[in-house]
Structure 1
Amino acid sequence: MANNSVAYSGVKNSLKEANHDGDFGITLAELRALMELRSTDALRKIQESYGDVYGICTKLKTSPNEVCGEVSVGEEEGEGETGWIEGAAILLSVVCVVLVTAFNDWSKEKQFRGLQSRIEQEQKFTVIRGGQVIQIPVADITVGDIAQVKYGDLLPADGILIQGNDLKIDESSLTGESDHVKKSLDKDPLLLSGTHVMEGSGRMVVTAVGVNSQTGIIFTLLGAGGEEEEKKDEKKKEKKNKKQDGAIENRNKAKAQDGAAMEMQPLKSEEGGDGDEKDKKKANLPKKEKSVLQGKLTKLAVQIGKAGISVNCAYTSKILPPEKEGGLPRHVGNKTECALLGLLLDLKRDYQDVRNEIPEEALYKVYTFNSVRKSMSTVLKNSDGSYRIFSKGASEIILKKCFKILSANGEAKVFRPRDRDDIVKTVIEPMASEGLRTICLAFRDFPAGEPEPEWDNENDIVTGLTCIAVVGIEDPVPDAIKKCQRAGITVRMVTGDNINTARAIATKCGILHPGEDFLCLEGKDFNRRIRNEKGEIEQERIDKIWPKLRVLARSSPTDKHTLVKGIIDSTVSDQRQVVAVTGDGTNDGPALKKADVGFAMGIAGTDVAKEASDIILTDDNFTSIVKAVMWGRNVYDSISKFLQFQLTVNVVAVIVAFTGACITQEKSFLTLIVEEMLLCMLLLQNIILLFLIPLC
């Protein structure tokens, strides 16, 4: 080190005084002459005079390797004491991000669990307790309850059928077979949890709930694999502590008996009235309604119609008194059936008296309503051995099965096709033009002396009817459709009503406007236009129809699914159409599942429709769809703005850091600031997402 210091001082002296350069093997003049050379001349001079660059270093008494080592280990003053700050800052940022992310995931999981618990508590089922029909939470169903099952229900427990009306169950979730299984008392009375009621209605006595039901057993088996080791440990402990286990077993038996008493206690309690009151609170808010009698009804027609409407409507449909004095009656159940029951009350006839005289168990045969029949029929057996069948349904379908009609004098006269056409022109079409859905009421008698009909042959039973009356029902026109149109949403009506009624309702709603070139088609015409000669659906044919289609009347659930699929798969417009579908029936499940967003009715909707949907409207109100769209767009705009801000800041920061590093060839002060800013932005991003994600 001493020699180096002397040599270094010698260099200083040589720079100051040109004469004192004898200590080195090269003079200052030689170095100046060397630096004036260029390119190959300089290289040749170095090789001829000094051998190479190391030769020059030797003459100058310096070592390149020693200099590189000193430079590489060089530190500024105080850098060793503060160097840990950068690492600690990065570690702290990572810890903060991990904690925020973990808290975010935990809060979301907590919200989802709370929502699931709330849904389970709100899911109710109809049972009979204390002689009263009430609705209770599914978790409160106990063994021994008499449960009412109806079209669209998801069975929450196992049971045995004690009374059924054309009951068909979808057991594909358990067996994998898509065919519906017909349930009856004499052939197959077992009903299993997790299956869906596709047709009919009935009652069952609950035999297994919770982990003992079919669904519970499956879930128990799914979790059995993880519990095998615990069971082995328990067996070892049992061998060591037999005496203690015996005492514990006795205590467990006593507790089990107490638990059974507590489970069966609701059967003896007075929950009927409270449950009924809860059910009443769940009913829709009353709306202003009006009843207009456009024609006269004879006493015989009123009497037969009273019995027909009372027993040929689901017994779960009823009209409750208003909650407040002077208020409107509340409708519970199917709204169409409630309207018919309201007609009886307006005629000063009490339907409940008929139901008390003829309970649901006394119904001999019921052909429940579905999208194929578009009607409902109920068979009663009289005391003299005769039978009477009551039918109600779409007017044009029931009228085709009527051979007689009650005259103004109350006598049944022959009903010819010409008379049917007159009723269509004078009664049905005028009602349909005013937006009324027409329903025909009819009946038929089977004399006692004749052989008992084959009740499974529906086509031979529901024919030769006698028409009682044609009634019209007006649906409320929601103003929310106009809000949807102002928001850029195209509303299309897919209904089972006839085309005249559908067109009138669509005009009132604002779906159709006079003078516009839009299509109103029936289901048959729609299928004829979209299918080729082989009966196959072609997307090109659908693309020619759906942009102008506004009303699809007399359609089936299959037509609804076809239309939804056709719009989603269409390539007519540059952007793919986003389709939302509303539905309440079991057959609406495929369309709800296929749509981008499926809305199911929370009150009138079946469990099958609710499972297939994405959003459940708890109030069955179309206005709620507008609110959902508003909130969805608001959240989408907020996320878009947040992502734009994040991308802008992060991209600019990365570009600045990269450019600065490339230009300066070292870590500049600006680069350090950008790196710290990126870490802060990462932390800020997670904090913002903590509050933004729950809104999604």
Structure 2
Amino acid sequence: MKIEPLGESTDPLVNIFNTTVAELLNIVEAYRQRKLAEDIELIESEGGPLSFEDKLKSSIKHGLSNKEDQTERISLFGSNKPAKDRPKTYFQICWEVLEDPILRILVISGLISLVIGATLDEHPAYGWIEGFAIIIAVCVVVNVTAVNDMQKQKKFKELKKRNRTGRVVTILRDGIWSSMHPKHILVGDIIKIENGITIPADGILIDGSQIEVVEAAMTGENDNIKKLPFEEAVRIKQEYYLNNPGVLEGMKKSEEDKHHEIPSPVVLSGTNLAEGVGIMIVIAVGKNSAEGRIYDLAERSDELTPLQVKLARVASAVGKLGLVCSIVTVITLYLRFIIEIASGEISWNSNEHPLLLVKFLIIGITVLVVAIPEGLPLAVTISLAYSIKKMQNENNLVRKMQACETMGGADQICSDKTGTLTQNLMTVSEMWAGNQALNIEAGPPSQGTFQAEFLHLLKESIFMNSSAFIDPVKGKQGSKTEIAMILLMQALGHSDCIETRKTYLDRYHRIFPFSSKRKKSSIIITTDEGKLRIHVKGASEVVSGCCTSFLTVDGKSHHIDNETSKVIQNMILRMTDNALRVIALTYRELPIDVDIEKFDSMGFPELEKSNLTLIALIGIRDPIRPEVPGAVKECQRAGITVRMVTGDNKATAKAIARECNIISKDTQTVMEGKDFSIKTGGTVCKECKTKICPCPRNSKEAKNSTKPIREDVVADLEAFKEIVSNLAVLARSQPDDKYTLVTGLKQLGHVVAVTGDGTNDAPALSKADIGFAMGITGTEMAKESAGIILLDDNFKSIVRAVIWGRNIYDNIRAFLQFQITVNIVAVISAMVGAITIQQSPLTSVQLLWVNLIMDSFASLALATDPPTDDHLNRPPYKKTEFIIEKRMWKHIIGQSIVQLIIMFCMMYAGEWFLPEFGSGTSILYNENTDYVISGRTYNPDGSENYKPYLSDPNIGPSRQFTYIFNTFVLLQLTNEVNARKIRDEVNAFERILKNKIFIGIWFFTFAMQVLIISVGSYAFSCHLKGLSVEQWMICIAFSAVSFVWRIALVFIPTNIFSKVHVDENRSSARLLSIRGSSLQRERINLNTT
């Protein structure tokens, strides 16, 4: 297959290095697009890796020279220094927020209102205030969102910087291996890659053993990919072609993909070395590397979150309802005016009527502005900003807003074991050696327990067959399991690990690194007598079966008979039942002429499979975090199923799961990953029904494909459903097993949270509804894929995320319950008043106070209600659950009815029951009564009523409508308290003092209302003398009805509102089910940092 060049360079530096960037990148592209072995053939045509010594002015034996002027090399091939983060500016974020259609409507409405109010209003001196205040409201929303996003960007940037600071790689310079930061890697460098490392650059393997790479984060393939040094890969390729003579011709005609049939020597940056060690020559760094180009081309789509979708329906429905009411109001007013003119009831007045017609439009706009829920985006922003900040204090760094809110609906948690459920502090707890069991936790064995010969072999096995060490300066370095065994030797009086290894430097013969497939590692050394000895260490259930003898305390070997075999197996079983990881240490004496390169069909060394002598069984404990059992219980109480996914064997995993309370019933099962994969069939493409298929995996690839984007599904969903019904633990699992588990659970409709720390966990973290990456042990790729980062790697923090997720949802619901009630009452009263008496009971400026100040303040008050553990006493909400449930409808409709009754009674009959107090020019009494005079501008028949008094500067606005305005505002204040409870709780005041923000805002709003009534005058259409103390008490008494009525609503059966609940989802024409504009920009964009 011909690989199209990526572009040629005309740079004069090409003559210096005898190659181009394009030539090097074509090697990587040949691997990425390979069908069989095109990359190997391309490297062969270039002269093999040795040719790159000349082309890149490097040396495989000595590496690059530190004396070299690196300017030219960097100028042509680039640097591996990460590109400087380009976070969005404050202005860019603000502009994105303004793309919200709701905010745009508000801006337009505000500008129209401002112009009309300042030019055509009866009182232009303050008529402009309404429009101006609406624009101020939009500014508040925009700036709160922008400040929040800027803070999140800054925090994640700091986290990334901290992660990069701790990374090191071994580089060969001037013949000396040195540890450096990956940013110092250059094209032509020779670097060493070891088990667990994230490969920092693209390169070609020139040496190595047992190398397997996880490319899931780069290619989406979950299987470990075998790699070979170039020379070995060429040999395998030639043998393959020899055994398959027609393969090349067949590949030209076939679409069959044999991408990994022949192992490649090409390794990609950003992938994880799962097993083995190797040496590679670097051919691409930085933005030219595979990882760099993916970052460059990555599409970071801002999908709507479940909460945003639900809120979009509410916002659109309320807005459209307001639009309908607005249109009906305007049309009715114009029709009425036309009928009155046509019937001769009134005559055309060229001085008054044009302004009146414009006023009809203003009334319509006022109704529309009232209906638009401008407080809704602010409530979402405030709730998320407040919650995310508080979650960070509880060790949850939220990277993606949807994870924060979706966590409230999580009903499945698939958790890693090490470091999340356990403390990741490995210590030797028990030991079986010399045919005796020793309790190490009670204290190390006394001197004389083991003789010198035994200790020599034990020490050699632990020190030599390990890469971990304890340095006086650097501390503990390497595998925690191996560190635990080194500490055991220190307890036995042997602290000379590093010194011992130095004495064996010339005696290493062959190393077979640890492989998760064979569950063991081996090393062949030369003994003092010049013979060969292999030390094998690994999982006890695997390695012990290869033993034919065991070592006694005097260092002598004895045959393992049936009775001893039972003792060994019972000891392994007892240790694993006690949640110990059991490691078997073994050895075997080898003849000098042994064939150490003999491998079985799986590629495993034959030497480590038989005739081994058991030195010891080491039981290692990773203590459970003390808070985990309680946290798991809390999850179960909250309706969340917790499953453990681990690499431990079944017995150990089961014991740990019992200790964590993950297994509490005998019906719950433990299954090994291998069996799980076989029975479920793993994941396949939904379209092609195969594991490997040509379907594109993302939108970028889809542009050049006719096939749909691949969607993974479980091959045998029925088998999966049967397994997971009781599955508690997935033991001996691989990353693809975790991916299958997450995929299947999502297929069954569950909301899944999953934890991960490695690069190979990235697919599962991305696939899950909520991915939790470990902040301490997690790789950068895992953190990039996750929605939330656990800063303390602690399961307890996941529980806190659940509580906060549910609290966010409840707070938004509480605000909706409050706001929709306000909007229904304000819109209906404005519409009815305008139609019947050509006057809204609340003026535009009064509605501004209600809509802007009250909604904005209410969003802050209700959105910041702190969470409680009570959130765990109920099951999670579902993805499909409508955000306004039946109980909420009961209170919304109930409170709206009682408020409208009070409003209409005051508006149409207030002069018969609202008392008047005091005396003076502005104090007007109803004829022959002590009640207020009617404040209606026009009568229902169109004749003038209070209108002549409005023009009198000594009288001004009516007392009746000041009553109405004040009572309406106080009704909202009482209902603000009621709205805190959305589940029919009787006591609306419960825990109210815990929310100091709510208390402060409530009293501030009340104080502002007192001020407005007292001095608002014409600006707020309030009586010149406001209200007397007695009249205030009457208003407060009317508003208190809301408290009493709420208690009555609690005891009204909710099921009578089931019709409302059905209708809201059935038709786009019904209330709150109309799809519309989305609150797209209420989110936190961190992926670009």
Measured against the shorter chain, the TM-score band is: 0.5 to 0.7
Residues 608/174 of structure 1: CA separation in 2 closer, same or farther (3 Å cut): closer
Q: CA deviation at 1:104?
A: 2.5
Are residues 1:486 and 2:634 paired? yes
Are residues 1:546 and 2:699 paired? no
**Which of 535, 550, 560 is the equivalent residue of 2:738?**
560
Are residues 1:299 and 2:446 paired? no
Structure 2 residue matching 1:410: 3-state secondary structure: coil
Are residues 1:449 and 2:449 paired? no
Relative to the length of structure 2, the TM-score reads: 0.43
**Which of 556, 563, 569 is the equivalent residue of 2:747?**
569
Report the equivalent of 1:343.
488
Are residues 1:595 and 2:636 paired? no
Distance 1:288 1:559 in 2: 25
Distance 1:173 1:363 in 2: 35
Report the equivalent of 1:519.
668
Q: CA deviation at 1:595?
A: 2.7
Q: CA deviation at 1:112?
A: 1.3
Structure 1 residue matching 2:227: 3-state secondary structure: strand
User: 8 Å contact 2:510–2:525 — kept in the other structure?
Assistant: yes
Residues 681/442 of structure 1: CA separation in 2 closer, same or farther (3 Å cut): same
Q: CA deviation at 1:651?
A: 3.7
Q: CA deviation at 1:206?
A: 6.4
Residues 510/658 of structure 1: CA separation in 2 closer, same or farther (3 Å cut): same
Look up the equivalent residue of 1:564 and give its one-letter code. V
User: 8 Å contact 2:631–2:795 — kept in the other structure?
Assistant: no
Look up the equivalent residue of 1:199 and give its one-letter code. E
The correspondence of residues 191-590 of structure 1 with structure 2, limited to 5 A, is 191-202=267-278, 209-211=285-287, 213=289, 215-216=291-292, 291-293=429-431, 294-295=437-438, 297-313=450-466, 315=467, 317-319=468-470, 331-349=476-494, 350-358=496-504, 364-370=510-516, 372-380=517-525, 387-415=532-560, 419-425=564-570, 427-454=571-598, 457-464=603-610, 465-479=612-626, 480-487=628-635, 488=638, 489-513=640-664, 516-523=665-672, 538-570=716-748, 576-585=749-758, 587-590=760-763
Residues 340/585 of structure 1: CA separation in 2 closer, same or farther (3 Å cut): farther
User: 8 Å contact 1:441–1:468 — kept in the other structure?
Assistant: yes
User: 8 Å contact 2:424–2:623 — kept in the other structure?
Assistant: no
Distance 1:682 1:447 in 2: 86
Report the equivalent of 1:615.
788
Are residues 1:82 and 2:233 paired? no
Structure 2 residue matching 1:620: 3-state secondary structure: coil
- Which structure 2 residue ranges, 5 or more long, are not aligned? 1-118, 233-263, 300-421, 432-436, 439-448, 683-688, 691-713, 866-1081
Structure 1 residue matching 2:620: 3-state secondary structure: strand
Q: Which has the higher relative contact order, 1 or 2, with Cα contacts under 8 A spaced 6 or more apart?
A: 2
Q: CA deviation at 1:441?
A: 1.3
Distance 2:616 2:129 in 1: 86
Are residues 1:180 and 2:225 paired? yes
Are residues 1:156 and 2:200 paired? yes
Q: CA deviation at 1:690?
A: 11
The correspondence of residues 622-637 of structure 1 with structure 2, limited to 5 A, is 622-637=795-810
Residues 153/568 of structure 1: CA separation in 2 closer, same or farther (3 Å cut): same
Are residues 1:101 and 2:155 paired? no
Distance 1:592 1:414 in 2: 49
Residues 674/80 of structure 1: CA separation in 2 closer, same or farther (3 Å cut): closer
Residues 643/446 of structure 1: CA separation in 2 closer, same or farther (3 Å cut): farther
Report the equivalent of 1:125.
167
User: 8 Å contact 1:101–1:686 — kept in the other structure?
Assistant: no
Distance 1:528 1:286 in 2: 31
Distance 1:221 1:522 in 2: 40
Q: CA deviation at 1:119?
A: 1.1
Distance 1:417 1:443 in 2: 20
Distance 2:618 2:792 in 1: 27
Q: CA deviation at 1:477?
A: 1.8
Q: CA deviation at 1:518?
A: 3.1
| CA distances 1:14-54 after superposition (whole Å, capped 9, x unpaired) | xxxxxxxxxxxxxxxxxxxxxxxxxxxxxxxxxxxxxxxxx
Structure 2 residue matching 1:373: 3-state secondary structure: coil
Residues 589/451 of structure 1: CA separation in 2 closer, same or farther (3 Å cut): same
Residues 94/550 of structure 1: CA separation in 2 closer, same or farther (3 Å cut): same
Structure 2 residue matching 1:376: 3-state secondary structure: strand
| CA distances 1:81-133 after superposition (whole Å, capped 9, x unpaired) | 73475456314522551464156335514531441343133223224599999
User: 8 Å contact 1:657–1:675 — kept in the other structure?
Assistant: no
Distance 2:120 2:294 in 1: 66
Distance 1:525 1:221 in 2: 38
Aligned length: 542
Distance 1:164 1:485 in 2: 47
Residues 307/561 of structure 1: CA separation in 2 closer, same or farther (3 Å cut): same
Are residues 1:169 and 2:252 paired? no
Structure 2 residue matching 1:180: 3-state secondary structure: strand
User: 8 Å contact 1:320–1:332 — kept in the other structure?
Assistant: yes
The correspondence of residues 642-657 of structure 1 with structure 2, limited to 5 A, is 642-657=815-830
Distance 1:304 1:615 in 2: 47
Look up the equivalent residue of 1:120 and give its one-letter code. K
Q: CA deviation at 1:160?
A: 6.5
Further displaced range: 397-406 or 161-170: 161-170
User: 8 Å contact 1:491–1:550 — kept in the other structure?
Assistant: yes
| CA distances 1:465-501 after superposition (whole Å, capped 9, x unpaired) | 3322111112212232313312524433333333333
Residues 605/395 of structure 1: CA separation in 2 closer, same or farther (3 Å cut): farther
User: 8 Å contact 2:270–2:781 — kept in the other structure?
Assistant: no
Q: CA deviation at 1:303?
A: 1.9
Q: Kindly report the root-mean-square deviation, in angstroms, between the aligned alpha carbons of the 2 structures.
A: 4.7
| CA distances 1:332-359 after superposition (whole Å, capped 9, x unpaired) | 4432222122122122222222333346
Distance 1:695 1:190 in 2: 37
Distance 1:604 1:553 in 2: 21
User: 8 Å contact 1:193–1:214 — kept in the other structure?
Assistant: yes
Q: CA deviation at 1:424?
A: 0.4
- Which structure 1 residue ranges, 5 or more long, are not aligned? 1-77, 224-283, 324-329, 571-575
User: 8 Å contact 1:657–1:671 — kept in the other structure?
Assistant: no
Residues 607/368 of structure 1: CA separation in 2 closer, same or farther (3 Å cut): farther
Distance 1:288 1:378 in 2: 23
User: 8 Å contact 1:443–1:467 — kept in the other structure?
Assistant: yes
Distance 1:139 1:635 in 2: 41
Structure 2 residue matching 1:364: 3-state secondary structure: strand
| CA distances 1:535-573 after superposition (whole Å, capped 9, x unpaired) | 986444444453443334444444434433343333xxx
Q: CA deviation at 1:396?
A: 1.0
Residues 125/148 of structure 1: CA separation in 2 closer, same or farther (3 Å cut): farther
Look up the equivalent residue of 2:548 and give its one-letter code. F
Distance 1:672 1:171 in 2: 62
Which protein is bigger by CA-based radius of gyration? 1
Taking only the aligned residue pairs, the percentage that are identical comes to: 35
User: 8 Å contact 2:830–2:842 — kept in the other structure?
Assistant: no
Distance 1:218 1:554 in 2: 32
Distance 1:355 1:644 in 2: 71
Distance 2:862 2:505 in 1: 58
Residues 341/552 of structure 1: CA separation in 2 closer, same or farther (3 Å cut): same
| CA distances 1:435-480 after superposition (whole Å, capped 9, x unpaired) | 2221111223432224453358315243113322111112212232
Distance 1:507 1:672 in 2: 64
